[in-house]
Chains A and B, each alone.
Chain A
Amino acid sequence: MISPMSDLHIELKASIIEQLNLEDINLDEIENDEPLFGDGLGLDSIDALELIVLLEKDYGIKLNDPQQGKEIFNSINTMAAFIEKNRTK
């Protein structure tokens, strides 16, 4: 179990802001349990592709089943938990 304010959470938020060009959003404006897609942060399908690339590039995780994405990319918390469990770097 990782702490809700771990370095990984902060690192993930910073990577998402940079990778998805969310210039107007600060780290503390993204809640750990806030949905990343739809009503939450408002990300879309192109962002999902960017997040898949981010997982592989930064953490060495290759998603083989695209359906997994829905659960993994639900929030910062779900992403961090998945990375913690599956990271190879």
Chain B
Amino acid sequence: MNRVFINGIASISAQEDAVVENGNVALYSENNIAALDKNYKSIIAPMMLRRMSKAVKMGLWTSLNALKEAKIEIPQNIIFGTGKGCLQDTEKFLVQMLDSREGLLSPTSFIQSTHNTIGGQIALHLKCNAYNMTYSQNSNSFETAILDAMMKIGSGESENALVGGVEENADIITDFENFDGQLKQEKISNLVLLNSTTSGTIIAESAHAFVFTSKPNKAYAELLDVEIRLNCELENLNSWIFQFLDTYKLTSKDIGFVIMGNNGDARYDNYYKALQDSIFKETPQIAYKHLVGENNSISSYALWLASQIFKLNKISEVFKLNDIDMVNPKYALIYNQYLGKNHSLILLENA
């Protein structure tokens, strides 16, 4: 099996990239947070940009920047994960359908409402006819995209892949999550989110792109493995992680830092707390969803964050869940779940 390295990375979230180092946090008190805007016009032609929803703009912007950093013009694979897809265009044509009483609809929003619009627009922009796949698997969408890319590169079929995770919010459809009790009913400052004792979380937009390659070059990290489970009982969580690490002859003591998906939902954060108080009690623990919110592909921020930590060999205090100092970490583990389902583990090694 070929090895898989992370070479180019790019992020759009509710925080500036520099927060990793300087800890200057953007503060929010609402439960539905937009991603920070970028100067899209600087790299996307206005005639292309005019039809793009935020998900497409963010996906293309991060892809172009990750490819630029990895010095790859045309990737051999474009593989994206998105749980919700292009919500804004979906909402637009559904509203038009209602307003016109199922009469005339604008074709653009309908055409662009599918989940694979992001990957398609990236391919059109790059004039790239390579393998193009979009995975929509709830909060394991990004992890599934990683698995596909790892198989493509690991098997030797490809030397590189552009891999990403994108989620956008829409006014009406995102509010459905409110009805479903997924969002906090009260306003809460993002800085105290992880201490919350109520149900629900804060949701936000984000986009991340990575270039995976079979050669290390100046890699951020080596991607060792990804595993996903739809269900995992709390009492089986430790043994699953032990088994997962044991595949690489590792124990929890080998993990230089662990990135947890705590999101302030008192109903499900016990999964993370169980690990914090047991097998990773002596490990530097890092959280991020109080800064960038929750969404179906937000584990892509965790992968971006892990890559940055390996590169910088430090992390701002605002991410830390405990006081244990990080010392030249060799391995990192990312654990995520949403609503007690779709559990994932991502194992990385410092390159």
Contact = CB atoms under 8 A, between A and B. Distances in A.
Contacts of A49: 107-108
Contacts of B100: 57
A20 B47 CA distance: 10
Contacts of B106: 19, 50, 53
Given A24-B46, A46-B111, A53 B51 contact: no
Contacts of A20: 50
B26 to A, nearest CB: 26
A37 B282 CA distance: 65
Interface string B72-109: 00000000000000000000000000001001111110
A46 B104 contact: no
A65 interface: no
A26 interface: no
Contacts, number: 26
A67 interface: no
A68 interface: no
A20 B49 CA distance: 11
Interface in A4-45: 19-24, 42
A46 B51 contact: yes
A22 B108 CA distance: 13
A46 B108 contact: yes
A64 to B, nearest CB: 15
Contact of A22 (B50, B103, B105): B50
Contacts of B50: 20-23
Nearest to A43: B47
B295 to A, nearest CB: 25
A21 B111 CA distance: 15
Nearest to A56: B104
A56 B103 CA distance: 10
Nearest to B110: A49
Contacts of B105: 53
Contacts of B107: 46, 49-50, 53
Contacts of B104: 53, 56-57
Interface string B43-55: 0001100110000
Nearest to A62: B104
Contacts of A19: 106
A22 B50 CA distance: 6
Contacts of A23: 46, 50
Nearest to B50: A21
A20 to B, nearest CB: 7
Nearest to A47: B108
Nearest to A45: B107
Nearest to A19: B106
A48 B104 CA distance: 14
Contacts of A42: 47
A80 B51 CA distance: 25
Interface in B266-305: none
A29 B103 CA distance: 32
A63 to B, nearest CB: 12
Contacts of A22: 50
Contacts of B51: 21, 46
Contacts of B46: 23-24
A56 to B, nearest CB: 6
Nearest to B112: A46
A49 B106 CA distance: 8
A19 B47 CA distance: 13
Nearest to B46: A24
Interface of A: 19-24, 42, 46, 49-50, 53, 56-57
18 contacts: A19-B106, A21-B51, A22-B50, A23-B50, A24-B46, A46-B107, A46-B111, A49-B107, A49-B108, A50-B106, A50-B107, A50-B108, A53-B104, A53-B105, A53-B106, A57-B100, A57-B103, A57-B104
Given A23-B50, A57-B100, A57-B103, 18 more contacts: A19-B106, A21-B50, A21-B51, A23-B46, A24-B46, A42-B47, A46-B51, A46-B107, A46-B108, A46-B111, A49-B108, A50-B106, A50-B108, A53-B104, A53-B105, A53-B106, A53-B107, A56-B104
